[in-house]
Copies of this chain bind each other. A is one copy, B any other.
Amino acid sequence: MLRSWCALFLLASLAAAQTNPAALAARQWRETHEREILTEFVDLLSIPNIARDTVNIRRNAAAISAMFAKRGAVTRLVEEPGANPVVVADLKTPGATRIITLYAHYDGQPLEASEWLTPPFTPTLRDKAIEKDGQVVPMASVKFPLDPEMRLYARSASDDKAPILAMATALDAMKAAGLRTKSNIRFVFEGEEEAGSANLGRILAAHKDLFTADVWLICDGPVAQTRDQLVAFGARGVTTINLTTYGPRRELHSGHYGNWAPNPAMMLARLLASMKDDSGRVLVPGYYDGITPLSATEKKAIADSPVPDQDLMKELWLGGTEGAPGRLLDLIQQPSLNIRGMASSRTGAGASNVIPSSATASIDMRLVKGMDRVRTVERVIEHIRKQGYFVTDQEPSATERMAHPKVASVILHEAGYNAVRTSMDLPISQEVIRAVESARGKVVKWPTMGGSVPLEKIENALGTKTITIPMANHDNSQHSFNENIRIRNLWDGIELMAALISM
């Protein structure tokens, strides 16, 4: 199935000669500088970038600042106490009256290094994807031009350092071709998006003059699963909680106490099962209240989008989907409640015959326009209380555990942010669609992307509209182990960024 998509893609790219001058310059530059581009990317990906690793985060910020200073931008690190720096790089255009901001983030999702086939911060090329039995190609023996079906594996190879590299390369290409910017271009790179952007709103509000723009173009996320270029006019919001149930103070021998001591893993299973029905509908009362309906334009955009569901099911070895018969694109217009991780005692070789002492599920909730993240968490807590639980927002005390037959803690892991949706009918929306189409040919338009970006923080602090223009391949394992980018997407992304920078 991938092969059929590739064939389609090759046909499409052969058919669509590059008509955008900046994107054409980007293509020509890239074709003659693949080695240099790859080297610069590998250097950037080699700097560990988990948000809580503040030492390395600063190394990233310094490296990215230097990348853009070298290309003639005025750069600065915007700092607030307790926050990772935001890198701002400004390219002034004489006579220009508007500012276009291109946003990306330089931090990556937390990880367990042992799960990766190759180390997450040792960028590694493979001749194709791991799922296709791709083999490592040692950097010393790489041949150029690269096969565009190769993959580069590293944390943030897709999410979200690829756009940063693509923007910097697009600037090189435009300079080499003597092309000038038409607007003032502002690059903004956040350093804690994968930690929930807890400080972004505060930073933007405290430095409005540095961040105000006519539009923010959010360069994050994957393109459509059909490999078509995507423009998304919104993103789901997100909020994350850790739900823990409690059993005996210490793990107990499951023989001597089984049937008598409450098993917190079973309690957790019952609680989780009470939250959704078998079709994936969330059963928490009020969960879907207040959702803003889609407009006619938005409904039409969804209807016009290709349907990747059948091909995706094969790619992912799925014999069914949760919201069947609903389609993926329709289902991500709805809020979700997802168990992102679950643990109790031990499994595998270290497992033993015990009644666990506690059980934890980490739950992310994706929100759509009209939902409030605080109220949503409250509704979940109310639902848990209705199942007979005493609920606390911290580790319960011995007294609390003894006073209640069922005890749970719900601890906000990442407060997150609400969903945002920009109208597709706005002049700037139409202008962005035209620019992207000029560089990338066929473009898929979605009212809302399934993933989350802190659009709300930007809109609330600055009053600025946001439009999301991703470049990564959908099959990039972002957020998981073995994250990667397909080289074709990296090359296309450079052309895409050139088109945006020259708007």
Contacts and interface: CB of A to CB of B under 8 A. Distances in A.
Contacts of A353: 109, 238, 240, 338, 340, 364, 479
A260 B280 CA distance: 8
Interface string A320-346: 111110111001101010111111111
A124 B65 CA distance: 54
Contacts of A359: 342
A11 interface: no
Interface stretch (A40-48, A88-96, A204-212, A445-453): A445-453
Interface in A274-319: 274, 276, 278, 280, 309, 313-319
A324 B261 CA distance: 10
A60 interface: no
A355 B338 contact: yes
A130 to B, nearest CB: 9
Contacts of A326: 259-260
A256 interface: yes
Contact of A258 (B272, B336, B405, B477): B336
Contact of A322 (B109, B262, B347): B262
B366 A258 contact: yes
A234 interface: no
A474 B362 CA distance: 33
A299 B255 CA distance: 20
A494 to B, nearest CB: 23
Contacts of A331: 259-260
Interface of A: 52, 109-112, 131, 194, 221-222, 235-236, 238, 240, 242, 246-263, 265-266, 268-270, 272-274, 276, 278, 280, 309, 313-324, 326-328, 331-332, 334, 336, 338-356, 359-362, 364, 366, 398, 401-407, 413, 449-452, 474, 477-482
